[in-house]
């Protein structure tokens, strides 16, 4: 299962990087919720994004990324989340 989560992290991050230029003008500073390489929502705080991810995806992995053009380490929130 750990390998599957790592693969989801990498795929979501690659998809996020591809959509970042389009997100930055209107959504800088928000937190993107990603699942299966798709943007599922934008949130004001990482906690809001995490709660929405868990509500929508339960045990399935999802990712939270800050919409910024600056590299940043969000710690726990930088990784695909799985409640399992």
For the stretch 28-76, pLDDT in tens is 999 999 999 999 999 999 999 999 999 999 888 899 999 998 865 555 5
Strands 31-35, 38-43: pairing kind: antiparallel
Per-residue pLDDT at 5 exceeds 90? no
DSSP annotation of 69 reads: S
Does the residue 84 lie in any domain?
no
Does the residue 10 lie in any domain?
yes
Does the residue 83 lie in any domain?
no
pTM of the model: 0.80
Does the residue 8 lie in any domain?
yes
The pLDDT of residue 81 is 46
Does the residue 19 lie in any domain?
yes
Between 75 and 2, name the one with better pLDDT.
2
Give the residue numbers spanning the domain of 68: 2-78
The pLDDT of residue 78 is 52
- Domain count for the chain, please give it: 1
- pLDDT grade for 82, boundaries at 50, 70 and 90: very low
Does the residue 18 lie in any domain?
yes
Does the residue 34 lie in any domain?
yes
- pLDDT grade for 23, boundaries at 50, 70 and 90: very high
Say if CB 9 and CB 79 are below 8 A apart: yes
Say if CB 19 and CB 37 are below 8 A apart: no
């Amino acid at each position: 299962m750990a390998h599957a989560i790592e693969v989801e992290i990498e795929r979501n991050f690659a998809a996020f990087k591809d959509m970042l230029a389009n997100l930055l003008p209107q959504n800088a500073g928000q937190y993107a919720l990603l699942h299966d390489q798709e943007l599922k929502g934008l949130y004001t705080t990482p906690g809001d994004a995490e709660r929405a991810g868990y509500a929508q995806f339960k045990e399935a992995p999802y990712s939270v990324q800050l919409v910024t053009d600056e590299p940043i380490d969000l710690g726990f929130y930088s990784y695909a989340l799985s409640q399992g």
